[in-house]
A = this chain, B = another copy of it.
Amino acid sequence: MYDPMARAAARLREAELRVTVQRMAVLTAIEELGGHPDAEAVRGRAQEVTGGLSLQATYNVLRVLTEVGLVRCTQITGQQARYEAERHNNHHHFVCRFCGDIIDVDCVIGEAPCLVADLPESYRVDEAAVTFWGACPRCAPAEHG
């Protein structure tokens, strides 16, 4: 039993960031929510702790947390940016075309960039982002065509 906020504070300090309730709340929210919440969802959860948290602050905090590598930001075509706690396991995403749900897919190849692009050597590739598109188990049966 340990205080998640205290833990968040420690991680912020480790990253050489100022420790504020808003940052602790956002970081804790992302870790406790799990999945791939968007900024609004993160804000909602964080507000339960802080009592109030502006959307602007949510975006600010999400950005700095992403910059220092505590949070990973994923932008799926046609959706808002989504956030998840960075666990430093290279993984990709499956996105359901129907409900928009996102789930993690372990990278079976290894570290980034896990794929090799057929490009001239003058191109420097540092990441291969793979998004699998399809139908999730809930939507697949309902899909016609």
**Does A40 touch B at the CB level, under 8 Å?**
no
- How many chain A residues touch B (CB < 8 A): the figure is 32
Report A118-145 CB contacts with B as 1/0, cut-off 8 Å. 1110111111111111111100100000
CB closest residue in chain B, given A125: B134
Q: Count the copies.
A: 2
Determine the main DSSP class of A at the interface with B: strand
**Does A99 touch B at the CB level, under 8 Å?**
no
Partner of A123, one of B108, B115, B126, B136: B136
* Interface of A toward B, CB cutoff 8 Å: 75, 77-78, 92, 94, 103, 105-106, 108, 113, 115, 117-120, 122-137, 140
